[in-house]
Structure 1
Amino acid sequence: MSSLETLTVHGLGRVADPYRDIVPPIHLASTFERAADGSYPGGRVYARDGSPAYIEAEEVLRRLEGGAQALLFASGHAAATAVLQALEPGDRVVAPHSMYWALRKWLLDLAEHGRIQLAFYDNADIDGLRAQLAAAPTRLLWIETPANPTWEVTDIRAAAALAREHGAATVVDSTVATPVLCQPLALGADIVMHSATKYLNGHSDVVAGALATREDSPLWQRIRVMRNLGGGILGPFEAWLLLRGMRTLHLRVRAACANALRLAAELEAHPAIAQVLYPGLPSHPGHVAAAAQMRGGFGGMLSIRLKDGEAKARDVAARVRVFKRATSLGSVESLIEHRASVEGEGSRCPPDLLRLSVGIEPADDLLADLRQALAD
């Protein structure tokens, strides 16, 4: 096919006999018949580690990321934890201060119980990262960019080069950027991770995760084992829905990017707002780095900080009419969340911050909703 967009729209474009289905069937089988000699003529043994339900979605993602292989998981967290469970006991992990809060908590718990060594770096500070990698032998560098919920940007190419220099593998959580805007493997990362619940599916009706790898490395083989033995697999219907969602990925992401940029630019001048955090704004500290590694947009996620603090932030969230007050991101509908209260004790999120997942509604409707909610 002529482009990744066309490939994605067609879901690989495979049409099977005898019915010549335009949409692939759902493969529900959990086990597969042996031949009389004990072999498996269909090439499948058991669905936990080899369901044909995953074929199209994994292959679409592999091609979108430009990788060697891809794997689906039961959730984004299952995908991330499979990577970490593939490490040896005591391996050192260097992770960013700003990252998905549940994974950060899990990393801290692993370190507390002696499963890993853990060090943190400031997301955009390459010099600080260099110092952390040089401080002790490191097995894994974790990157999240743009980073939830303040959208710091890490220079993937520079960070991955440093990790390689120090013998560490680089994993990039690219959930917010999506392969439409950024391909971390092409920038030197070893593995890219997605919470496929978010933009890849894009309709708030699937919980899923995914990994893609630049090469079939020993670490990747261990991750395969962790998925199989850990059982963090995706159901056939969810895999089918994920493939359906990805068929409109490019259109949805581009529409969300355009809306988010317009909202960010107009809200930056609003008298009630102290700061708009969005990599597409020249005022954002990570704008130059984002422009260098993201193509066609800066994502659909932004945050606003209110001049009158936490009480005002909570009040604005309570008054919206079009935005939905809900956790998650990356779907067709716009969501708003007072993130610090959701994360709870230990959150690094400023209490005056509202996180906005900008959907594909008309931008005028979204702006009107926020303006009336911000009004005194």
Structure 2
Amino acid sequence: MSDGWNSRAVHGDAQVPRTAGAVSPPIVQTSTFAADSAREFADLALEKRGSGFYTRYGNPNHAQVAAVLADLEGAEAATVFASGMAAITTTVLALVRAGDHVVLQRRHYGGVPSLLLNLLPKFGVTCTQVDQTDVRAFAAALRPRTRLVLVESPSNPLLDITDLRAVSALARDSDALTVADNTFATPVNSRPLALGADLVWHSATKYLGGHSDLSAGVLAGPAALLDRIWDTAVITGAVLGPFDAWLLLRGIRTLPLRMRQHNANGLALAHAMRAHPAVANVYYPGLPDHPGHATAAAQMDGYGGVVSLELAGGYPAAERFVDGLRLARRAASLGSVETLVVHPATMWQAILHADQVEDAAMSPGLIRLSAGIEDTADLVADVTRSLDAL
């Protein structure tokens, strides 16, 4: 098979059995599967990450989308979940126990520090947050009982860059596993496993699905490690429905095509925003003056469609800017075909403590804009028009 991204997205599940003659795989909308004998029933019940026993244990639609995602990430295997938070929560619960320690970068999607700082201490697990832009900070945070190092690059919402190769090497030398959130980059733009990470996860609700019509999570990595996590996944029951798995597969078929436009729109908007006097700061790793640009250029093939900007007028300016946009929708999430815009300081107050919001540097004037696949000129004109009105 070709190594091209389009071909892999379309044919990455070629080895997974499907209904004869069905070009589009059928939705296997069943909760349970019948066995022909007691021996077969027992074998199916014990099979790791199977697809023919009980949908909480696995489903043919799960197997198909997991095969494509594993191929795109360069992983031995992949597993799907009901959401991105289900994927990372299950992973952490499976791999740590009381007395263990986790290293987490300071700027990360809000649900992850909420999990590690607010929930895990109840079970005797400690966490140290570090500046993700400083490799030495990761080295200093590692302890004998460190089991996991959680990274996200680019980060949400300020798009800081983590040196994935350097951090993964440090973790490996300390017998810790590196778990990388690849939601913002997608495998089209970055492959953390090739840079040394042990596991990669996504909120597949975003770019992988791409159409704001599903909730899903993905975890990819070595099969033996996924089997350990699968045991916990069966218990927690954060199962992806067959129809959502089918929708996710359909979305991934066009992921490489969509990412070209997301990348182009993100870069064009970043340049337009940086040139506007109403904008105090622009956060986008594709800009040459971004502090992490050199590292991003070394480990990414594109910079994505998410651009964050800080407006000089603070909260009032942020509200006026969002209200003035015609093509963007005020909505949570990102990575969809339509442009979405959020005010992070408002959105994340529900899941973070006040001091954690401050740590994330979410000023009142910060806006996160996720560029869709609209025409580049139309998006630039829309954003410029709204900025001019300030």
TM range (shorter): over 0.9
Quick check: 1:365 aligned with 2:378? yes
Partners of 1:178 and 1:199 within 8 A in 2? yes
**Equivalent-residue separation in structure 2 for 1:208 and 1:15 (angstroms):** 20
Partner SS for 1:35:
coil
Partners of 2:32 and 2:55 within 8 A in 1? yes
Give CA-to-partner distance per residue, 1:35-73, whole Å, 9 cap, x none: 244424995221111211211100000111111110000
Aligned residue in 2 for 1:340: 345
Partners of 1:142 and 1:170 within 8 A in 2? yes
Shift in Å at residue 154 of structure 1?
Answer: 0.2
Q: Which runs of 4+ in 1 moved over 3 A?
A: 13-19, 40-43
Aligned length: 372
Quick check: 1:153 aligned with 2:166? no
**Equivalent-residue separation in structure 2 for 1:36 and 1:180 (angstroms):** 44
Partner SS for 2:194:
helix
> What amino acid does structure 2 have at the position aligned with 1:115?
G
Taking a change above 3 Å as real, the CA distance of residues 280 and 34 of structure 1, as seen in their structure-2 partners, is same
**Equivalent-residue separation in structure 2 for 1:140 and 1:103 (angstroms):** 13
**Equivalent-residue separation in structure 1 for 2:363 and 2:124 (angstroms):** 30
Q: Structure 2, unaligned stretches of length 5 or more?
A: 45-51
Moved more, 244-253 or 89-98: 89-98
Percent of residue pairs identical: 45
Give CA-to-partner distance per residue, 1:203-228, whole Å, 9 cap, x none: 000000000014523xx333111111
Quick check: 1:303 aligned with 2:311? no
Match of 2:287 among 277, 281, 286: 281
**Equivalent-residue separation in structure 1 for 2:27 and 2:321 (angstroms):** 43
Moved more, 276-285 or 4-13: 4-13
Match of 2:263 among 257, 260, 275: 257
Aligned residue in 2 for 1:2: 2
Report the TM-score when normalising by structure 1: 0.95
Quick check: 1:137 aligned with 2:138? no
Aligned residue in 2 for 1:71: 79
Aligned residue in 1 for 2:49: none
**Equivalent-residue separation in structure 2 for 1:265 and 1:34 (angstroms):** 59
Taking a change above 3 Å as real, the CA distance of residues 193 and 152 of structure 1, as seen in their structure-2 partners, is same
Quick check: 1:355 aligned with 2:364? no
Match of 1:267 among 269, 273, 281: 273
**Equivalent-residue separation in structure 2 for 1:284 and 1:17 (angstroms):** 46
Taking a change above 3 Å as real, the CA distance of residues 16 and 128 of structure 1, as seen in their structure-2 partners, is closer
> What amino acid does structure 2 have at the position aligned with 1:320?
L
Partners of 1:11 and 1:243 within 8 A in 2? no
Partners of 1:274 and 1:304 within 8 A in 2? yes
Give CA-to-partner distance per residue, 1:258-281, whole Å, 9 cap, x none: 111011012101010011100000
Taking a change above 3 Å as real, the CA distance of residues 365 and 46 of structure 1, as seen in their structure-2 partners, is same
Taking a change above 3 Å as real, the CA distance of residues 15 and 67 of structure 1, as seen in their structure-2 partners, is closer
**Equivalent-residue separation in structure 1 for 2:101 and 2:376 (angstroms):** 45
Partner SS for 1:29:
coil
Partners of 1:305 and 1:354 within 8 A in 2? yes
Aligned residue in 2 for 1:227: 233
> What amino acid does structure 2 have at the position aligned with 1:306?
L
Quick check: 1:119 aligned with 2:128? yes
Q: How does 1:159-170 map to 2 (within 5 A)?
A: 159-170=167-178
Taking a change above 3 Å as real, the CA distance of residues 37 and 305 of structure 1, as seen in their structure-2 partners, is closer
Taking a change above 3 Å as real, the CA distance of residues 41 and 11 of structure 1, as seen in their structure-2 partners, is farther
**Equivalent-residue separation in structure 2 for 1:169 and 1:17 (angstroms):** 35
Partner SS for 1:55:
helix
Match of 2:191 among 169, 183, 187: 183
Give CA-to-partner distance per residue, 1:309-338, whole Å, 9 cap, x none: 121112111221111111000001001111
Aligned residue in 1 for 2:102: 93
Shift in Å at residue 12 of structure 1?
Answer: 2.8
> What amino acid does structure 2 have at the position aligned with 1:360?
I
What RMSD in Å do the two structures reach over aligned CA positions? 1.8
Partners of 1:185 and 1:214 within 8 A in 2? no
**Equivalent-residue separation in structure 2 for 1:288 and 1:120 (angstroms):** 24
**Equivalent-residue separation in structure 1 for 2:18 and 2:330 (angstroms):** 45
Q: How does 1:53-64 map to 2 (within 5 A)?
A: 53-64=61-72
> What amino acid does structure 1 have at the position aligned with 2:366?
L
Partner SS for 1:274:
strand
Report the TM-score when normalising by structure 2: 0.91
